[in-house]
C-alpha cells in the first residue's frame, strides 16, 4: 500500500498546522500538532527517527548509536538515506495534492500494519 494525505484540523478543517516538538527525559521524543487557525489539538506523533532538511547530518547522529558491519550494504543504505528522502518527499507531496485518500489517518495506519 502506498498513500498520502494532508493532515487537517478536525475542528475547522484547516491545513495550517503547527508542530510542537516535545522531549521529556527518558521518554521518546513527541510531536504535538496544533491547528494554527483555531488552536485545536490535531494529533500527537511519537518519533522513532528524525531527519532534518540536512539528511546527512541526521544520519551521522543516528549512526552514533548503531553499528554497521556489512560495508556494501552500508554504502547502499547511506546513499538511499540521503537521496531517498527528497525523492520520497516529492512522491508524498504529489499523492497528497492529488487528494485521492479519504480515510482517517488511524484507518490508514491500521491497514498498513495488516
Partner 1 sequence: MKLERASLFRALWTFLSFFFLWISIRYAPGDMSGAQKTCLGIFVLAAFLWVTEAIPLFVTSFLILALQSVLLAPHIDGNYRVFLAPFFSSTILLFLGGFVLARGLARYHLDERMAFYLLDKVGDSPGRILLGMMAVTAFLSMWMSNTATTALMIAVAYPLVRQLEPGDPFAKAIILGIPFSANVGGIGTPIGTPPNAIALSALKEVGINLSFLRWMVLTVPLELFVLLVIYWVLMLFFRPRTGKVKLSLEKMPPPERREIFVSGVLALTVLLWLTTGLHGVPSSVISVFPVLALFGTGLLRREDFNSLGWDVLFVIGGGLSLGVGVHRSGLDGWLLTSLGFERLGFYPLLLIFAFLAALLTNFMSNTSTAALLVPIVLAIGKNPLILSLGIALSASASMLLPISTPPNAIAYGSGLIKVKDMARAGGVITFIFVIAVSTIGYFYWKLLGF
Site residues, partner 1 (CB under 8 A):
26, 56-57, 59-76, 78-79, 81-82
Question: What percent helix, strand, coil does the chain show, rounded to 5?
Answer: 40, 15, 45
Give CA–CA dist 16/36, Å, rounded: 5
β-pair partners for 22: 30
Least Cβ distance, residue 5 to partner 1 (angstroms) = 26
Least Cβ distance, residue 30 to partner 1 (angstroms) = 16
Alpha helices in the chain (DSSP H): 55-63, 71-98, 105-112
By beta-carbon proximity to partner 1, the closer residue of 57 and 111 is: 57
Least Cβ distance, residue 77 to partner 1 (angstroms) = 8
By beta-carbon proximity to partner 1, the closer residue of 67 and 106 is: 67
Amino acid at each position: 500500500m502506498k498513500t498520502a494525505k494532508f493532515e487537517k484540523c478536525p475542528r475547522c478543517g484547516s491545513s495550517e498546522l503547527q508542530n510542537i516538538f516535545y522531549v521529556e527525559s527518558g521518554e521518546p521524543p513527541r510531536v504535538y500538532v496544533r491547528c494554527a487557525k483555531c488552536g485545536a489539538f490535531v494529533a500527537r506523533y511519537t518519533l522513532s527517527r528524525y531527519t532534518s532538511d540536512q539528511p546527512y547530518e541526521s544520519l551521522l547522529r543516528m549512526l552514533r548509536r548503531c553499528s554497521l558491519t556489512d560495508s556494501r550494504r552500508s554504502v547502499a543504505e547511506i546513499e538511499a538515506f540521503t537521496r531517498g528522502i527528497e525523492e520520497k518527499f516529492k512522491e508524498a507531496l504529489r499523492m497528497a495534492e492529488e487528494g485521492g485518500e479519504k480515510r482517517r489517518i488511524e484507518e490508514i495506519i491500521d491497514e498498513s500494519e495488516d
